[in-house]
C-alpha cells in the first residue's frame, strides 16, 4: 500500500509540472478562463469598442482575432494593412482581454486564387474548388506556402512580442474541404512520398501486393491517386494515400509553426483547433505532437451526426461522450488542452438544428472544466448578419447588444468558475481512487485507416467500437489518456491499458505489451487485434498467430451475422446477444475462459478469455455485443478483480476531477444521483442532478 501512495505522489508531481501551465493569464486568475471569437471585419468600426468592452464586462478573459481575415490583412498582393487589427488589439488591451491571434491561411484572398488557381484542391469528382470556400487550398503547395509564409511573418513581426497576444492558432480545423485533395500537385507529392517510403518500385509492388490483379508498376510516375470514384481496389494503396494525406496535413501545420517560432516570443504558444475526428481519418493529432505547444479542439455537441444517448432530451443535451473523448484525446498530445470553439447555442448547419435544453450550454462549460481544460472559447461573440452562418447563435443576439440564452449561460458559468477558482487549493495530487483506475488507450491512427479501408462486414464501424469501450470506461469514472506505441507503457501511471481492434502490430509492440503485463499491467485487447503487420498484410501464419502466446489462445476463425440475425454469448451467469463479429478461440492450458457462445454450431466455444502473465493479465474480448452491456460487464469485472475503485454511472452521466473538485454533469434525460459521500462538501448544485445539470463537490 505504501508503495502505491508513493507512486501516486510521484504522479502528482509530474502532473503539477504539466498542469501548472496557465495558458491564458487572465486578469482574475480563473482556473479556466473563458473567451469569445470576435471578427472585427464583420462589424462597423464604430461598434468595436462597445463590443470589446462588453466582452470584458461580461467576464470573458480573452478574445480571438483574424482567423479568416487574409483579404483584409493583405487586400492586394504585397500590400499589408495591420492598422485596423492594431486598433482592435489595443482595445482588447484597454479592457484587459488577452488575444489568441490566428494565421489566416484557410481563406486565401481572391487576388491569390485568381493568380494561382493551381493551389486550389480538387475533389474526387475532378472539380477544382473555387474561390468562396475555405480550407480550399493545399497547405503543402510551395506557391501557396510562399504567400502563407509572407503573411505569417508579417503578422509575427507585428504581434510576436505583444504581451496582449497569449498565443497563436494555426489555420482552422485542419483538413481539406472534401477530405482529400486529388489535384495534379498531390499526385506528384504522393509519388514522391511513396518513393521516399519504398525507395524502389519493386518494394512498393511488394508492399502493395501489386501482383494481385496485375496492379504492378514499372515506375513511380505511373501511380495514380486512389480515387474512390475511379474504383481503385487496392487496400494498401488506399491506406498509403490516407497516411500520405495525414503526413501532408501535419507537415503544413509544421511549416506554419516553424515560420512563427522563428519570429515570436517564447511566451506566446502555438496551437491549432482540431475537429470532427470521426469524419477526418487523415487528421492525426499525434502527427503534430512535436510541432504544437498543445492541441486544442472544437466542440459542436448538437451536431446531428454525433453519437447521442437515448432519451427524449438527448438531442437538446448533446453528445457529452464526444466532448469527453475529444478533450481527452487532445489533452493526451501534450498533457493539457482547451476548447477553442464551443457552440454558444443553436447552430445552423446540422441536418436539423435543435435548441439546446436551457442549462445545457452551462453544463458543457462545466464538463470541460471537469475534464481539466485550460480554457474554453466560444464561436462566436456576435451572431453574423451575413455570410454562410447567418443563423448561428452568438453570445449576442443579432442586434449586438442583447445577450442570447446561451450567452446568459456563458456569463453564469464564468461567474461560477471564477468564484470557485478563488477558493481552490489547486491541488496537485490525484485522488488514490482515480489513480487506481487510470487507463491508457493505445492509439494508432493508421489502424483506423486500415480498419475503415477493409471493414469486412457492412456492420463494422471502428468509431463505434472505440466509443463503446471509451463510453463504458467513463461509466466507471475512468480517466483516460491516449498514448502511442512509442510512449512509455508505465504500469504505475496506467494500471490498465486498452487497445481496441488493434489490427496492425509488430514484434516490438507485442514484446512491449508482454513486459507491461509482466510488470503488473492489465491489457485489454479485442477482436481483430494483431491480424496484420504494419503494411496491412496478413501474417504468413495462422489467424492472429503472433498474439496467441500473449492472449493465451489460438484464434480459430471469426464469424459475422446479417444485421437482422442474432446469436448469444454466455458470460458471468447471463446471456448477451451479438451479431457484428464473433471470434472463436481455443484457449491454451492455464487460460481462464470467461465467456462462451451459447448457440450456433460452435455452441460452447470460448470468445472471452483471461491469461495471467507475471504480475498482470491480458484479457481478450472476441465478440461485439448488440447493446454493449456485455462490454460494460466485462470491464467492470476486470477492474474490480484488480482492486480498482470504480464508479457505477449511467451512460452519459460523467464524473471528472480537477484541482481538488469533483464535477458531475448529466446528459441523460432523467435525474441522476451523483456519487457524493456524506463527508463531501457540495459547492455547486445538488446531489440529485437534473438533465442538463451540474454538481461540484470536494
Ligand atoms: C466550425 C468552424 C467555425 C465555424 C463553426 C460554425 O466547425 O471552425 O469557423 O464555421 O464551425 O459552427
Q: What is the number of the ligand 1 atom nearest to the C-alpha of 68? A: 9
Q: How far apart are CA 114 and CA 664, in angstroms?
A: 52
Q: What is the number of the ligand 1 atom nearest to the C-alpha of 173? A: 8
Exposure class string for 251-274: b at 16+ Cβ within 10 A, else e: bbbbbbbebbbebbeeebbbbbbb
pLDDT for residue 28: 66
Q: Is the CB of 172 under 6 A from ligand 1?
A: yes
pLDDT at 191 over 60: yes
Distance 463 CA to ligand 1 centre (A): 22
pLDDT at 5 over 90: no
pLDDT at 670 over 80: yes
Share of the chain above pLDDT 70, in %: 96
pLDDT at 311 over 50: yes
Q: What is the number of the ligand 1 atom nearest to the C-alpha of 276? A: 7
If one compares 7 and 363, the residue with the highest pLDDT of the two is 363
Which residues, in sequence order, are bridge partners of residue 396? 382, 403
Distance 295 CA to ligand 1 centre (A): 17
pLDDT at 2 over 70: no
Q: Is the CB of 392 under 6 A from ligand 1?
A: yes
Distance 194 CA to ligand 1 centre (A): 34
Q: How far apart are CA 342 and CA 368, in angstroms?
A: 10
Q: Is the CB of 74 under 6 A from ligand 1?
A: no
Q: Is the CB of 171 under 6 A from ligand 1?
A: no
Q: What is the number of the ligand 1 atom nearest to the C-alpha of 300? A: 12
SS3 (DSSP) at 687: coil
pLDDT at 20 over 60: no
Which of 6-10, 402-406, 638-642 has the lowest average pLDDT?
6-10
Q: Is the CB of 301 under 6 A from ligand 1?
A: no
Distance 411 CA to ligand 1 centre (A): 21
pLDDT band at 21 (very low <50, low <70, confident <90, very high): low
Q: Is the CB of 173 under 6 A from ligand 1?
A: yes
pLDDT at 408 over 70: yes
Distance 85 CA to ligand 1 centre (A): 21
Distance 1 CA to ligand 1 centre (A): 49
Q: Is the CB of 429 under 6 A from ligand 1?
A: no
Distance 347 CA to ligand 1 centre (A): 9
Q: Is the CB of 375 under 6 A from ligand 1?
A: no
Q: Is the CB of 38 under 6 A from ligand 1?
A: no
User: Residue 523, Cα to own-chain centre: how many angstroms?
Assistant: 22
Distance 149 CA to ligand 1 centre (A): 24
Q: How far apart are CA 270 and CA 268, in angstroms?
A: 7
pLDDT band at 275 (very low <50, low <70, confident <90, very high): very high
Q: Is the CB of 298 under 6 A from ligand 1?
A: yes
Which among 67, 68, 341 is the best mutation to test ligand 1's pocket, defined by most ligand atoms within 8 Å of the CB?
341
pLDDT for residue 27: 60
Residues with Cβ within 8 Å of residue 317, at least 6 apart in sequence: 301, 309, 356, 357, 360, 363, 666, 667, 668, 669, 691, 692
Q: Is the CB of 383 under 6 A from ligand 1?
A: no
If one compares 316 and 307, the residue with the highest pLDDT of the two is 316
Q: Is the CB of 347 under 6 A from ligand 1?
A: yes
Q: What torsion do the CA atoms of 441, 442, 446, 451 make, to the nearest 10 degrees? A: -70
Distance 310 CA to ligand 1 centre (A): 26
Q: What is the number of the ligand 1 atom nearest to the C-alpha of 273? A: 8
Mean pLDDT of 311-319: 94
Q: Is the CB of 379 under 6 A from ligand 1?
A: yes
Q: How far apart are CA 109 and CA 451, in angstroms?
A: 39
Q: What is the number of the ligand 1 atom nearest to the C-alpha of 275? A: 7
Which of 106-115, 284-293, 307-316, 422-431 has the lowest average pLDDT?
422-431
pLDDT band at 306 (very low <50, low <70, confident <90, very high): confident
Q: What is the number of the ligand 1 atom nearest to the C-alpha of 172? A: 8
Nearest CA to 90 out of 65, 126, 108 is that of: 65
Which of 427-431, 543-547, 596-600 has the lowest average pLDDT?
427-431
SS3 (DSSP) at 537: coil
Q: Each residue of 101-135: pLDDT tens digit?
A: 999 999 999 999 999 999 999 999 999 999 989 99
Residues with Cβ within 8 Å of residue 106, at least 6 apart in sequence: 67, 68, 134, 135, 171, 172
Which of 174-178, 600-604, 640-644 has the lowest average pLDDT?
174-178
Q: Is the CB of 340 under 6 A from ligand 1?
A: no
pLDDT at 12 over 90: no
pLDDT for residue 403: 98
Which among 347, 389, 390 is the best mutation to test ligand 1's pocket, defined by most ligand atoms within 8 Å of the CB?
389
Q: Is the CB of 389 under 6 A from ligand 1?
A: yes
User: Residue 21, Cα to own-chain centre: how many angstroms?
Assistant: 21
Burial class (CB in 10 A: 0-12, 13-18, 19+), 461: middle
Q: How far apart are CA 102 and CA 609, in angstroms?
A: 51
The residue with cell 468592452 is 53
pLDDT at 14 over 50: no
Q: Each residue of 578-623: pLDDT tens digit?
A: 999 999 999 999 999 999 999 999 999 999 999 999 999 999 999 9
Mean pLDDT of 637-663: 97
Mean pLDDT of 355-360: 98
pLDDT at 331 over 80: yes
pLDDT at 425 over 70: yes
Distance 474 CA to ligand 1 centre (A): 28
**Ligand 1 atom 5 nearest Cα:** 379
Nearest CA to 329 out of 296, 363, 369 is that of: 296
pLDDT for residue 163: 96
Which among 42, 172, 276 is the best mutation to test ligand 1's pocket, defined by most ligand atoms within 8 Å of the CB?
172
Where helices occur in 118-264 by DSSP H, the ranges are 142-159, 184-198, 201-207, 235-261
pLDDT for residue 22: 78
pLDDT for residue 423: 82
Nearest CA to 632 out of 647, 612, 618, 617 is that of: 647
pLDDT for residue 11: 40
Which among 38, 69, 298 is the best mutation to test ligand 1's pocket, defined by most ligand atoms within 8 Å of the CB?
298
pLDDT for residue 26: 63
User: Residue 525, Cα to own-chain centre: how many angstroms?
Assistant: 21
Rg (CA), the chain: 26
pLDDT for residue 422: 85
Exposure class string for 15-46: b at 16+ Cβ within 10 A, else e: beeebeeebbebeeebbbbbbbbbbbbebeee
pLDDT at 361 over 70: yes
Amino acid at each position: 500500500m505504501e508503495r502505491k501512495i508513493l507512486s501516486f505522489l510521484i504522479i502528482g508531481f509530474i502532473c503539477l509540472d504539466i498542469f501548472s501551465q496557465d495558458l491564458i493569464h487572465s486578469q482574475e486568475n480563473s482556473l479556466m478562463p473563458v473567451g469569445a471569437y470576435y471578427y472585427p471585419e464583420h462589424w462597423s468600426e464604430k461598434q468595436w469598442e462597445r463590443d470589446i468592452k462588453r466582452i470584458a464586462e461580461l467576464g470573458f478573459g480573452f478574445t480571438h482575432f483574424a482567423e479568416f481575415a487574409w483579404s483584409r490583412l493583405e487586400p492586394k498582393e504585397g500590400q499589408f494593412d495591420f492598422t485596423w487589427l492594431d486598433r482592435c488589439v489595443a482595445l482588447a488591451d484597454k479592457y484587459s482581454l488577452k488575444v489568441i491571434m490566428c494565421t489566416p491561411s484557410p481563406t486565401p484572398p481572391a487576388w491569390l486564387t485568381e493568380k494561382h488557381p493551381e493551389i486550389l484542391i480538387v475533389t474526387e469528382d475532378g472539380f477544382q474548388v473555387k474561390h468562396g470556400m475555405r480550407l480550399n487550398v493545399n497547405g503543402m503547395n510551395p506557391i501557396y506556402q510562399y504567400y502563407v509564409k509572407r503573411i505569417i511573418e508579417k503578422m509575427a513581426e507585428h504581434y510576436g512580442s505583444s504581451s496582449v497576444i497569449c498565443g497563436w492558432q494555426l489555420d482552422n480545423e485542419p483538413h481539406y474541404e472534401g477530405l482529400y485533395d486529388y489535384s495534379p500537385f498531390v499526385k506528384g507529392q504522393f509519388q514522391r512520398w511513396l518513393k521516399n517510403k519504398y525507395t524502389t518500385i519493386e518494394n512498393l509492388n511488394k508492399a502493395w501486393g501489386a501482383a494481385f490483379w496485375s496492379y504492378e508498376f514499372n515506375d513511380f510516375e505511373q501511380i495514380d491517386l486512389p480515387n474512390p470514384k475511379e474504383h481503385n481496389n487496392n487496400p494498401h494503396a488506399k491506406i498509403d494515400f490516407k497516411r500520405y494525406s495525414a503526413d501532408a496535413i501535419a507537415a503544413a501545420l509544421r511549416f506554419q509553426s516553424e515560420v512563427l517560432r522563428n519570429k515570436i516570443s517564447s511566451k506566446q504558444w502555438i496551437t491549432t483547433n482540431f475537429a470532427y475526428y470521426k469524419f477526418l481519418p487523415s487528421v492525426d493529432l499525434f502527427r503534430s505532437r512535436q510541432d504544437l505547444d498543445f492541441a486544442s479542439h472544437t466542440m459542436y455537441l448538437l451536431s446531428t451526426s454525433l453519437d447521442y444517448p437515448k432519451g427524449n432530451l438527448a438531442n437538446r443535451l448533446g453528445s457529452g461522450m464526444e466532448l469527453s473523448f475529444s478533450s481527452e484525446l487532445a489533452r493526451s498530445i501534450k498533457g493539457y488542452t482547451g476548447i477553442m470553439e464551443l457552440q454558444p447555442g443553436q447552430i445552423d448547419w446540422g441536418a436539423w438544428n435543435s435548441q439546446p435544453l436551457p442549462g445545457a450550454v452551462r453544463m458543457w462549460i462545466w464538463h470541460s472544466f471537469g475534464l481539466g481544460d485550460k480554457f474554453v472559447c466560444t464561436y462566436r461573440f456576435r451572431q453574423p448578419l451575413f455570410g454562410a452562418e447567418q443563423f448561428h447563435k452568438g453570445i449576442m443576439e443579432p442586434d449586438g447588444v442583447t445577450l442570447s440564452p446561451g450567452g446568459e449561460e456563458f456569463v453564469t458559468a464564468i461567474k461560477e468558475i471564477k468564484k470557485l477558482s478563488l477558493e481552490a487549493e489547486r491541488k496537485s495530487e490525484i485522488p488514490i481512487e482515480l489513480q487506481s483506475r487510470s487507463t491508457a488507450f493505445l492509439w494508432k491512427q493508421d489502424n483506423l485507416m486500415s480498419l475503415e479501408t477493409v471493414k469486412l462486414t457492412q456492420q463494422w464501424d471502428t468509431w463505434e467500437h472505440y466509443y463503446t469501450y471509451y463510453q463504458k470506461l467513463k461509466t466507471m469514472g475512468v480517466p483516460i489518456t491516449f498514448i502511442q506505441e512509442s510512449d512509455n507503457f508505465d504500469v504505475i501511471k496506467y494500471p490498465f491499458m486498452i487497445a481496441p481492434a488493434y489490427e496492425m502490430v509488430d514484434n516490438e509492440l507485442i514484446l512491449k505489451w508482454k513486459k507491461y503485463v509482466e510488470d503488473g499491467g492489465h491489457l485489454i485487447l479485442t477482436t481483430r487485434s494483431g491480424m496484420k503487420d504494419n503494411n496491412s498484410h496478413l501474417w504468413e501464419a495462422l489467424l492472429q498467430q503472433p498474439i496467441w502466446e500473449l492472449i493465451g489462445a489460438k484464434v480459430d476463425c471469426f464469424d459475422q451475422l446479417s444485421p437482422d440475425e442474432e446469436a448469444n454469448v454466455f458470460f458471468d451467469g447471463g446471456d448477451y446477444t451479438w451479431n457484428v463479429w464473433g471470434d472463436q478461440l481455443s484457449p491454451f492450458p492455464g487460460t481462464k475462459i470467461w465467456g462462451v457462445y451459447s448457440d450456433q454450431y460452435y455452441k460452447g466455444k470460448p470468445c472471452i478469455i483471461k491469461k495471467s502473465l507475471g504480475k498482470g493479465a491480458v484479457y481478450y474480448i472476441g465478440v461485439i455485443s448488440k447493446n454493449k452491456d456485455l462490454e460494460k460487464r466485462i470491464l467492470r469485472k476486470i477492474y474490480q478483480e484488480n482492486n480498482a475503485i470504480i464508479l457505477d454511472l449511467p451512460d452519459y452521466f460523467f464524473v471528472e476531477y480537477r484541482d481538488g473538485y469533483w464535477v458531475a454533469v448529466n446528459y441523460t434525460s432523467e435525474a441522476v444521483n451523483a456519487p457524493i459521500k456524506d463527508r463531501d462538501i457540495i459547492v455547486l448544485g445538488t446531489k440529485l442532478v437534473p438533465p442538463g445539470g451540474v454538481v461540484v463537490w470536494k
